[in-house]
Amino acid sequence: MDPEVLYADLELATSTKLRYSIHDVSSHSGKYIPENIMIDAPHDKSSRWSGIQQSGLSTFRQRQWITLKLDKVSVLKEIVFGKHNMNHPCNMKEFKVYAGLEANRMTEILHAGLMNDSVPESFPTKNQADDGTVTSYLLVLFVVEAQHWSDTQVLPCQYVKVVPILPHSAEYNTSIWYIELRGVTSHFAVENILAYYTRVRSGLDYRWLSEFHASYEQYREDISLRLIAKHLRSRRLPYQHLLRPTNTVLEHPTVSKLYKAVVCRGDFERAEELIEVAARQDRLFGYFLFSVRPFPIWRPEFPFSASSPCGRGGHQMALDERNRLIYLFGGWTGTTSLADLWTYSIPEREWTLLSADTEKDRGPCARSCHTMVYDPVRECLYLLGRFIEPTPQLESPDWNKSDFWMYETSGPQRGKWRLLSRDTERDGGPPLIYDHNMVIDPKSGTLVVFGGRIIDDDLTRNSGKPKFSGMYTYNILRSRWTKEFEDPTPETTKAKLFIPGRVGHGMVFDPGSQKVLVFGGHRTVRTIKRAAADMWSFSLSTKEVAEICADCSAYGGPDPGFAQRVTIDPTSREIYVMSGLAKDQVSAQETVRSTMWIYSLRYRQWVRIMGPPANAMEMDEPVPRFAHQMVYDSQSSLFFMFGGNAGADDDRRLDDFWSLKLDRLGINDAVRKSKQLIRRRKFTELVKTVTPVEALEYLKTKVHETFDDDDPQESEQYRKLMWEITSGSLLSRHTLPPSDAYDGASLPLAPVPPAPDILANPITPPSAMSVNGSSAMASPEMQHTPAMTGPIAAAAGSSFPPPPSPTKDRDPTSTNDASGVEGTALARELAVLTDPEDRRSQYTPPPAPVMQPQPIPIRAATLPIQPSPRPDIPTEEAPTRILTPPSPEPEGPPPVEEAMLSQEQFQGRLQLFRELTEFIDPQAKEPQTDLLDFVCRDHHSEVETRWY
């Protein structure tokens, strides 16, 4: 039988409820036994399964799981999760589902989350494309996932494993109330699938070994070899001979060169050059720069005055980037709808009233909850929809007709309104709707309208069970509407994938992929208003609908909410989401939040920008709000926000106007932080090969120039670094503590064991020093700082105040104890280095201590003799057999090859390399997973499979 025929048979096969039993479970808590999930009892609080949360795991949640065994092999098509009849903090916010024919060999088929409400949720297994979107309904249970790519094959299963990841409240354990499995048990369908599966596995039928299967097998080979190579390299064992026969690449060539420069040769100057190449030429820092949380900078643009718009909500704004103008129309003041049209000049920072009442100017009437977009090609505005309270007192027969308007912003008809349609529903477009969204593809001249609540003649139905609109497109050149799809119903979803209708959602157009992206909003399900945090896409070219994510909040994105404002930067392909009226995941109460996220279409990751300010007015930041409007100007990288409702229980309509600038980590700062790590490591090795004076001179010049003195956090880092060095706690260590290159957090002080004797000269840390050099009382921990050991032990107990000089700001009459340590050898040498004009003529440094050569252990047992490099292999990539260390160069210590390194040196350099690769894109560096993680420590016995 042809595989396509099998797909068709499965599509037509009737799904039935699958019988199952509990096969295995991680644990259960008290009376919450696993058998409870087989009974749907939503009113019974104890009818659920919950695992045990062990004590002492406050920062690491123990993984719980439950495995179900089907009575017979089936093709699973749907998983239904029942819930308690009320919101519950133990509901699963995130979970995974695995399935397979054997209990110890299962594959992930679903990664989703549940809403914290009482509505049961069903999940068809779905197939992810290379861009992360769900492209087709999946009737199969064999899903192969890679980092940016996945595909499927039709296979049956008998075991299903559910793994809860997060509850809706972190203080509670995760509970599962009810699970129902639905699928195909037809003997004919399953038998045919098993027959084909057996043939393929035995090599008798190659029709299923398509390009996908070959690609997947190649991926498995590549990732296996890369994991082995990474493991061998971290143990200083030969590994490149494993990669050459298959042309497998462990990492980007620049990253491989960086490893040789840092770990093998200790050539830190070459490492800095390679960092520049990786960041600027190869552009490998993109993901890191995106992942660093930006800092928001708000600025009030224009105070309220007679020449600015009044407070309102439910209005619309559109941006004309070419002329640097923002258009604002309509809204609701709390008592009346508005019909005024304004423009705001970004360069001049000034509002201009174009029309106080557009209806009098032969334009649209007063309205709110409408949509408006700007067409940069035809230089005009398009306006659609409005809110009308449906009451029997409305006498006009056309009270619910949907009018469609265009406003000319240039040319001979500048400032004129034109009615494109008196009733869009009659012309094939949407009916009268509100709280919908509209975007434009100016290149093709296409408007896309989606969602919104329909206002029709059936007042009872509209107030009780509101209807939601589907998706429509409007061809501007042909003046023609096209219905893409309606709001999905149980009947329509069986034939095609649709985006569920909603209100208060966000929508943007991505010109790079020619897709419309829909995020969030809410709809009414079974008389319950249900907020969403999902993301969907609609392709204008192929008309395909895809679900990008069922619950973005489970992946670091915004919580479900209403009236989120969504904008996009087409150049960077980043989506910006500002929350509005959010729904609390535990209490289900609606709260107004002012939080912002960035979603990268390139990396498929969320980054949170800011949280709700506790004292927004005092900090000169906007208060949380909803029903506001926001536009994004890509030329200036500025967001502009106006108005909105002050709160769920606050009837005020705001009239403030703000601009937002995101202060993001630039590539120069990322390169500087990378060089900082390199130079700190070099300093660590210098203290063991050169005099203290030379090492500290390098620290004072080369290391210090990688710190930003204007940044208080980095300045504090440097002071703490100097404090650790001069107190002896750093030079006695094998390696430097890693610097937090992500958010500029202060460098942590390593724990220091107390010494038995108190030093004669107590040391005061920089954080306790005042500006004039006087010190506060030293903490007991600092009073017990141990003496420094090693080649420069004479420096123990010395003091070094904050840079740049320890003497210029010192009070000569001060009798503080900190000044008494100035007579130590290291302090006198530092004084000469930092203040030569004041001290060099009065003091001669003591002779440098004699450095005794230290033996370097050679791991001869792990270095088999390698053959000579082949002529077809580049010399840099060829394995090298090193028997003796290289001869020293006259200008300084020679680079030491990896084979001659001590374990301490190797681990220190390897740690530096791993820290540097944190800046590198995930696709360009070695696998982040360790080979040892794949070693199974729990050996499960083979389980007998019951076929029928």
DSSP secondary structure, 62-109, as one string: PP--EEEEEEEEEEEEEEEEE--SS--TTSEEEEEEEEEEETTEEEEE
**Does residue 788 contact residue 845 with C-beta atoms inside 8 Å?**
no
Give percent of the chain with pLDDT exceeding 90: 41
Alpha-carbon distance of 166 to 111, in angstroms, equals 12
Sign of the dihedral through C-alpha 162, 167, 171, 177: negative
Lowest mean pLDDT among 452-466, 550-564, 760-774: 760-774
Average of per-residue pLDDT across 584-613: 75
Sequence-distant (6+) residues with CB within 8 A of 933 are: none
| 523 Ramachandran zone, left/alpha/beta (phi>0; psi -120 to 50) | beta
Sequence-distant (6+) residues with CB within 8 A of 768 are: 775, 776, 777, 778, 779
Lowest mean pLDDT among 129-133, 454-458, 693-697, 728-732: 129-133
pTM score, whole prediction: 0.66
Residue 525, CA distances (Å) to 89, 125, 489, 905 in order: 21, 22, 12, 63
Under DSSP, is residue 417 helix (H, G, I), strand (E, B) or coil? strand
Sequence-distant (6+) residues with CB within 8 A of 548 are: 132, 133, 134, 517, 534, 535, 536, 537
Question: What is the tens place of the pLDDT at every residue in 806-863?
Answer: 333 334 333 333 333 333 444 444 444 444 444 333 434 344 344 343 333 333 333 3
Q: pLDDT at residue 638 above 50?
A: yes
Q: What is the pLDDT of residue 136?
A: 30
What is the H or E stretch that residue 725 is in?
Answer: helix 712-727
Q: What is the pLDDT of residue 359?
A: 95
By C-alpha distance, which of 537, 417, 428, 423 is closest to 478? Answer: 428
Q: What is the pLDDT of residue 23?
A: 93
Lowest mean pLDDT among 59-68, 132-141, 592-601: 132-141
Sequence-distant (6+) residues with CB within 8 A of 85 are: 42, 43, 118
Sequence-distant (6+) residues with CB within 8 A of 712 are: none
Alpha-carbon distance of 157 to 809, in angstroms, equals 76
**Does residue 91 contact residue 121 with C-beta atoms inside 8 Å?**
no
Q: What number of residues does the chain have?
A: 948
Question: What is the tens place of the pLDDT at every residue in 52-92?
Answer: 764 433 333 457 899 999 988 888 888 999 999 888 889 99
Q: pLDDT at residue 712 above 80?
A: yes
Q: pLDDT at residue 141 above 50?
A: no
Average of per-residue pLDDT across 885-910: 63
Average of per-residue pLDDT across 792-816: 35
Q: What is the pLDDT of residue 769?
A: 35
Q: By CB neighbour count within 10 A (0-12 exposed, 13-18 middle, 19+ buried), where does 832 fall?
A: middle
Average of per-residue pLDDT across 189-211: 50
Residue 293 identity = R
Residue 673 tokens, joined: 């932080």
Average of per-residue pLDDT across 299-321: 87
Q: What b-and-e string marks burial along 293-325, b requiring 16 or more CB atoms within 10 Å of the CB?
A: ebebebeebbeeeeebbebbbbbbbbbbbeeeb
Residue 519 identity = F
Give the up-direction half-sphere exposure of residue 124: CA atoms within 13 A in the CB hemisphere: 19
Q: What is the mean pLDDT of the chain?
A: 74
Q: pLDDT at residue 749 above 70?
A: no
Torsion over CA of 223, 228, 231 and 234, rounded to 10 degrees? Answer: -100
If pLDDT is split at 50, 70 and 90, which confidence band does 550 have?
Answer: confident
Under DSSP, is residue 244 helix (H, G, I), strand (E, B) or coil? helix
| Bridge partners, residue 207, by sequence | none
366 vs 797: which has the higher pLDDT: 366
Average of per-residue pLDDT across 475-494: 80
Question: What is the tens place of the pLDDT at every residue in 656-675?
Answer: 999 999 999 999 999 999 99
Note the helical H segments in 606-703: 667-686, 692-698
The interaxial angle of helices 667-686 and 903-916, nearest 10 deg, is 170
Q: By CB neighbour count within 10 A (0-12 exposed, 13-18 middle, 19+ buried), where does 807 fall?
A: middle
879 vs 652: which has the higher pLDDT: 652
Question: To 5 degrees, how large is the angle CA 773–CA 769–CA 681?
Answer: 110
Q: What is the pLDDT of residue 554?
A: 78
Question: What is the tens place of the pLDDT at every residue in 863-886?
Answer: 333 333 433 333 333 333 333 333
| Range among 38-52, 178-192, 582-596, 744-758 rated most confident | 38-52
